[in-house]
């Protein structure tokens, strides 16, 4: 499994490298973060987070009943993800940035939700581990953006509960995901599925960020930001 984890880490690092070359990432680090752009991103986080518990639980439909260790992980993880989107709502409310009516998710967000639903029902719990693997270890990559949120918007920990609380929860989840892989992943086909799900979900996450910037620019009618 050590070689597999190295290969998976390389895919994750490559996915983040592409995101960090994008317009959203560079705009966020080079320009002063606005409440409106922060709002756009957090609304997308809200939308896909709403479904994480559900599509995690839905993986059970494609599992073999004999996969008891993996199913215990699925059930436990689904329960622990339940309701996390409410933290996003509280965070937006705390700075007066919660819209009176929540807009529909942007197209890449819809694609991410639909893709994870498909993975859950069609491919099952082993494949979905490819998403959990990087999503539970996201903080080392997004810390520069979180720092900009704090500095430019003057946010305190109690106004960033989604990220602050999640960082503690996900540290434990990350260990559990690795353990689930060690116990449940046995074939090259399963390893290939995990890699593909990691690659696709990271790509869609990057597109979600890019589209958030485009939507912000469209609403604010500001000049287009350029990638570095």
Which pTM does this prediction carry? 0.92
Contact 16, 202 (CB under 8 A): yes
User: What pLDDT score does 226 carry?
Assistant: 52
Confidence of residue 171 (pLDDT cuts 50, 70, 90): low
Contacts of 69 (CB under 8 A, 6+ apart): 180, 183, 184
62 pLDDT higher than 60: yes
Instruction: Please determine, for residue 223, whether its predicted confidence score (pLDDT) is greater than 60.
Output: no
- Output the pLDDT for position 224: 52
Question: Is there a domain that residue 68 lies in?
Answer: yes
* CATH code for position 17: 1.20.910.10
pLDDT > 90 in the chain, percent: 84
Q: Judge whether 176 lies within some domain.
A: yes
Q: What is the mean pLDDT of residues 96-107?
A: 96
CB 68 within 8 A of CB 150: no
pLDDT at residue 147 is higher than 80: yes
Q: Is residue 123 in a domain? A: yes
Query: What is the H or E stretch that residue 175 is in?
Result: helix 161-184
Spatial distance between the Cα atoms of 127 and 136, rounded to a whole number of angstroms: 15
pLDDT score for 221: 75
* Bigger pLDDT: 150 vs 165: 150
What is the number of domains present in the chain? 1
Domain extent, residue 22, equals 2-220
Name which of 3, 145, 141, 132 is nearest 55 in CA terms: 132
Segment 190-202, tens digit of pLDDT: 999 999 999 999 9
In a 3-state reduction of DSSP, which class is residue 136? coil
SS3 38: helix
């Amino acid at each position: 499994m050590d070689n597999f984890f190295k290969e998976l880490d390389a895919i994750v690092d490559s996915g983040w490298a592409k995101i960090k070359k994008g317009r959203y990432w560079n705009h966020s680090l080079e320009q002063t973060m606005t409440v409106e752009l922060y709002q756009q991103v957090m609304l997308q986080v809200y939308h896909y987070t709403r479904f994480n518990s559900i599509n995690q639980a839905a993986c059970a439909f494609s599992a073999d009943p004999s996969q008891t260790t993996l199913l215990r992980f699925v059930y436990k993880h689904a329960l622990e993800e339940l309701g996390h989107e409410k933290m996003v709502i509280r965070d937006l409310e705390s700075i007066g940035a919660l819209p009176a009516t929540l807009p529909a998710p942007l197209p890449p967000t819809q694609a991410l939700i639909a893709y994870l639903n498909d993975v859950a029902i069609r491919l099952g719990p082993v494949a979905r581990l490819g998403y959990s693997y990087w999503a539970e270890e996201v903080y080392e990559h997004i810390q520069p953006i979180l720092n900009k949120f704090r500095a430019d918007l003057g946010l305190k920990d109690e106004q960033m509960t989604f990220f602050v609380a999640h960082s503690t929860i996900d540290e434990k989840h990350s260990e559990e995901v690795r353990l689930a892989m060690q116990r449940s992943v046995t074939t090259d086909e399963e390893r290939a599925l995990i890699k593909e799900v990691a690659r696709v979900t990271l790509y869609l996450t990057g597109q979600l960020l890019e589209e958030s910037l485009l939507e912000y620019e469209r609403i604010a009618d500001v000049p287009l930001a350029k990638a570095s």
